[in-house]
Amino acid sequence: MSQGRSFPRLFVPLLAGASLRDRVIGCIGALLGIALTAFVCTRLPQSSAALPFLAAPIGASAVLVFAVPASPLAQPWAVFGGNIVSAMAGVTTAHLFGHSALVAGIAVAGAILAMSLLRCLHPPGGAVALTAVIGGPAILNAGYLFAFMPVAINSFLLVAIGLIFHRFSGHSYPHRATMTQGVEPAREPGFHPEAIDLALADLGETFDVSREDLDLLLQRAAFHEGRRVH
């Protein structure tokens, strides 16, 4: 009986604040982002006809840019820098160690390290690094050119489209933690940033939300709790 009641929860969005409107906007944005990126790239001169005009991980980048534009992992530098750095990490790893299963793992691990150090962590970057190792003869023969075409150009176009699209979507991109217009400011003071850092350290987990957004969320929660109890 309990299993029957819990089954519908499988279809409940896991993203906090997710709404049907936002999901539809994300779908439209991804459609435009990928279609326009592909349209432009198919009309650019190709240095190698065998190279794809779209890197498959760009589809995952589109999910972040258009479905969760507030995520730190979806910001312009994360998309552009993360994908390029990962491509270079993958190509370098393949050149040094070959193309075995272990090398594929090393490439992804190296991409994560490089992205973390350069503050451009972007999950699709792991797929970009993997593609550089196992993507087939054309990508392997292209070498570092793969990081430029299609990866860099795809990433640049997708970010540019995201910047334009989100001017009309109602979401800030690049994201900034700002109070929504027309919403009354919180009456309760927010937590000190140091307290938020200490709380995050206590939990020992990495969350896909910026400290600024978390602080703003806590302020709004304190405001609504004050209205609720009074």
Helix axes 20-41, 57-67, angle to 10 degrees: 140
The pTM is what?
0.81
57 Rama class: left (phi>0) / alpha (psi -120 to 50) / beta: alpha
Q: What is the DSSP string of 122-153?
A: -THHHHHHHHHHHS-HHHHHHTTHHIIIIIIH
pLDDT of residue 125: 98
Q: Which of 177, 188, 194 is nearest to 228 (CA)?
A: 188
Ranges of H-type helices in the chain: 2-6, 20-41, 57-67, 76-97, 101-117, 124-134, 137-142, 145-146, 153-169, 193-203, 211-229
Q: What is the full per-residue pLDDT of the chain (230 aa) written as tens digits?
A: 445 555 566 666 566 667 788 889 999 999 999 999 999 999 988 756 688 999 999 999 999 999 999 999 999 999 999 999 999 999 999 999 998 999 999 999 999 999 999 999 999 999 999 999 999 999 999 999 999 999 999 999 999 999 999 999 988 899 886 655 444 554 455 567 777 677 767 766 666 666 666 666 666 666 665 566 66
User: Tell me, what amino acid is at 35?
Assistant: A
pLDDT of residue 1: 43
